[in-house]
Chain A
Amino acid sequence: MSNNLSDVVVPYGTKLTAATNGKVEGSATVKTGLAQMFKGGVIMDVINVEQARIAEEAGACAVMALERVPADIRKHGGVARMSDPHMIKEIKAAVTIPVMAKCRIGHFVEAQILTECGIDYIDESEVLTPADDKHHILKSEFPIPFVCGARNLGEALRRINEGASMIRTKGEAGTGNVIEAVRHSRQINAEIKQVQNMDEVELFTFAKEIQAPFHLIKQVKELGRLPVVNFAAGGIATPADAALMMQLGCDGVFVGSGIFKSGDPAKRARAIVQATTHFRNAKILAEVSENLGEPMVGINIDTLPEGEQYAKRGW
């Protein structure tokens, strides 16, 4: 798979005006560029300053500030919303690495507030309760970059067309079960291979079938990959899970509940960081997998009622 992102042009850039010295903020290059700097790294969910510091010391390349990790959102139920801006600001002040935060699908005002908080990336996330059952946020209108979840190529390209600068698998957050992330990653890989073998006439029909913009499908064919950085997320709980997703072709991993719902978060976090760098080195993977203590318990996805499957949220 080619990994060349340097020549990628993201379709609908923010409406930008250059300053007199030619300086432009919030351009597509600048927004996708930060995701390129995350590659090969681990982005960790944290709910307070203490966890954020543990994540930074472990070598996280960014943290996701949220009030409850997905496992607790599942347990407590109710409506899950954007985090308190005060808590986000505290975390931002405590670490030097980039800070991300989640807003609800379609909730563009939460996104405006997060932009105002000066965070580095917004996750328009199915883990929170959706605010709109038809529309996603028009992300290209924002000066701040967005990451969105996807289960297949069509979904990924629809999000990119709306202005997402980074994609992640949806997986099934808060379960500690990697099967859905694997399913989504394999699905996207399989569709990319299909596209690579199609001629232009077939591409038109395929674009219609998967409900994706034709120009982005053409770009996927040329690049042999998604036109933006693609991380794994949803159910990653061990160094082996992280390395599995990397070997499946993901550019990096998000770990949510998997770290701070385990017995020894600092050690597990370090191990997952090492595993993500050395994802093809079985010797190192074996070393870092030793004596990590209790993993998070995990949920069998087959036993999850359909209404509790977050991956089904988003359109």
Chain B
Amino acid sequence: MASPAVKIGVLALQGAFIEHIHVLGRIENVTAVQIRTPAEVNDPTLDALIIPGGESTTMGLVAERSGIVEPLRLWAHQGVKPVWGTCAGMILLANSALQMKIGGQPLLGGLDVCVDRNHFGAQLQSFEMPVSIPVLGEEPFQAVFIRAPVIVSHKPNVTVIAKLEKKNADDEHERIIAARQSNLLATAFHPELTGDSRFHRYFVEMVRTSKLARQQTASS
């Protein structure tokens, strides 16, 4: 069966959403649209959702005031269609987070992990480096970390896709930078800021597989 055309919504409340749309635009049979309102989030023709990088507190607060937190939670918790969070998006998908603002911040949850916000520190500690991501092939992926979070713990149902070495060998926390839990994908870095579209292609394959499976269930 030919791989189906897919439509991916990119949450466009704040942050680097255009960058995702541009990378998706380079992949065949993918339509990418900006998502801001309840009607747009609930659009039944969407096959997947991307929550981009930006400020996670801003996105959480604006989502609340725009009436889309509940529909977004459904996306993340039902797991019927794929959702990918990058950086701030990964924080929003996490079930818990460390170093939140005073009084906490709205999270969507769904991903059985705990993230540490601004793990590496302020902008001066932001960096890029080649990392090994086996699901993308042998060639290392240039990962850009901007005031980035990491996953410090996870439940067994979460598959680790990539991680950094521990700062010290005896640290109890892991430093996971990419993970997957069935239809949920999360990356601490920004594949949308590099010319390398392999991570977006990996996600699009998830979306196509999920769509095929839904179509087969519907027709059987």
Which residues of chain B come closer than 8 Å to A19, judged between CB atoms? 129
| Bound Cα distance from A311 to B117, whole angstroms | 37
Complex contacts, B194 vs chain A, CB 8 Å: 6, 29
User: A129 interface residue, CB < 8 Å from B?
Assistant: no
User: Bound complex: CA of A284 vs CA of B37, how far in Å?
Assistant: 10
A41-B15, A281-B37 as given contacts; A6 in contact with B192, CB under 8 Å: yes
Judge if B65 is at the interface, Cβ distance under 8 Å.
yes
* CB pair A6 B19 closer than 8 Å: yes
A23-B190 Cα distance, complex, nearest whole Å: 15
Q: Is A53 an interface residue (CB 8 A)?
A: yes
Q: Please name all residues of chain B whose beta carbon is closer than 8 Å to the beta carbon of A276 when the two chains form the complex.
A: 14
Least CB distance from B150 to A in Å reads: 14
Segment with Cβ contacts to B, from A57-65, A167-175, A184-192, A302-310: A57-65
Which residues in B have their C-beta under 8 angstroms from that of A56?
Answer: 57, 101
Taking the closest CB of chain B, its distance from the CB of A22, in whole angstroms, is 5
Q: Is B58 in the interface zone, CB < 8 Å from A?
A: yes
- Tell which of B118-126, B151-159, B205-213 binds the partner: B118-126
Complex CA–CA separation, A119 to B124 (angstroms): 8
Cα distance, A29 to B123, chains bound together (Å): 12
Task: List residues of chain A with CB within 8 A of the CB of B58.
Answer: 41, 59-61, 97, 273
Docked Cα-Cα span, A264 to B22, in Å, equals: 39
Query: Does B33 sit at the interface, judged by CB under 8 A?
Result: no
Contact A143 B54 (CB under 8 A): no
Partner of B54 from the list A18, A22, A25, A39 (CB cut-off 8 Å) is A39
Any B CB within 8 A of the CB of A40: yes
Q: Return chain A residues, CB-CB under 8 Å to B130.
A: 22
Whether B126 pairs with A34 at a CB distance below 8 angstroms is: yes
Task: Pick from A53, A119, A121: contact of B102, CB below 8 A.
Answer: A53
User: Among the listed B13, B101, B123, B126, which residue makes an inter-chain contact with A277, where contact means beta carbons less than 8 Å apart?
Assistant: B13
Interface status of A295 (Cβ within 8 A of chain B): no
Set A39, A53, A58, A120: member contacting B147, Cβ < 8 A:
A120
Chain B residues positioned under 8 Å from A36 (CB to CB): 15-16, 19, 53, 193
Chain A residues contacting B61 (CB-CB under 8 Å) are 57-59, 273
Q: Is B42 an interface residue (CB 8 A)?
A: no
Q: Could you say which residues of chain B place their CB within 8 Å of the CB of A120? A: 122-123, 147
Q: Which residues of A contact B118 (CB under 8 A)?
A: 96
Chain A nearest CB, measured from B73 CB (Å): 19
User: Is B30 located at the chain interface by the 8 A CB criterion?
Assistant: no
The answer to whether B129 and A274 touch across the interface, beta carbons within 8 angstroms, is no
B215 contacts A by Cβ under 8 Å: no
CA distance A145 to B123 in the complex (A): 8
A6-41 vs B, Cβ < 8 Å mask (1 yes, 0 no): 110000000000110111111101100110111111
What is the bound-complex CA distance between A58 and B57, given in angstroms? 9
> B127: which A residues are within 8 A, CB to CB?
23-25, 27, 30
Contacting pair B128 A41 (CB below 8 A): no
- B162 close to A (CB within 8 Å): no
Of the candidates A27, A29, A273, the one whose C-beta lies within 8 Å of that of B62 is A273
Asked whether A33 and B146 contact (CB < 8 A) given A97-B57, A120-B122, A277-B14, the answer is yes
B145 to A, closest residue via Cβ: A30
Bound form: Cα–Cα A98–B118 in Å: 10
In the assembled complex, B32 has its CB within 8 A of some CB on chain A: no
Q: Which residues of B contact A143 (CB under 8 A)?
A: 124
Report how far A284 CA is from B67 CA in the complex, Å: 12
Q: Tell whether, in the assembled complex, residue B126 and residue A33 are in contact, meaning their CB atoms are under 8 Å apart.
A: yes
Taking the closest CB of chain B, its distance from the CB of A247, in whole angstroms, is 15
Instruction: Determine if A270 and B123 form an interchain contact, defined as CB atoms under 8 angstroms apart.
Output: no
Q: Is the CB of A277 within 8 A of B66?
A: yes
Kindly identify which residue among B18, B55, B140, B147 contacts A3, using a CB–CB cutoff of 8 Å.
B18
Is A83 in the interface zone, CB < 8 Å from B? Answer: no
Kindly provide the distance from the CB of A255 to the nearest chain B CB, expressed in whole angstroms. Answer: 14
Does A278 sit within 8 A of B, measured CB to CB?
Answer: yes
- Residue-wise, chain B 11-34 has the 8 Å CB interface mask toward A (1 for contact) of 011111111001100000000000
B177 within 8 A of A: no
Sort A-B residue pairs by CB-CB distance and give the 7 closest, nearest first.
Answer: A120-B123, A23-B129, A59-B61, A3-B18, A40-B14, A61-B55, A25-B127
6 new A-B contacts at CB < 8 Å, known A23-B127, A33-B126, A115-B124:
A6-B193, A19-B129, A37-B146, A94-B102, A96-B118, A97-B55
A-B contact pairs, 16 of them (CB 8 A): A21-B129, A24-B127, A25-B124, A29-B128, A30-B145, A33-B144, A39-B14, A41-B55, A59-B57, A59-B65, A60-B58, A62-B55, A96-B101, A119-B123, A143-B124, A284-B66
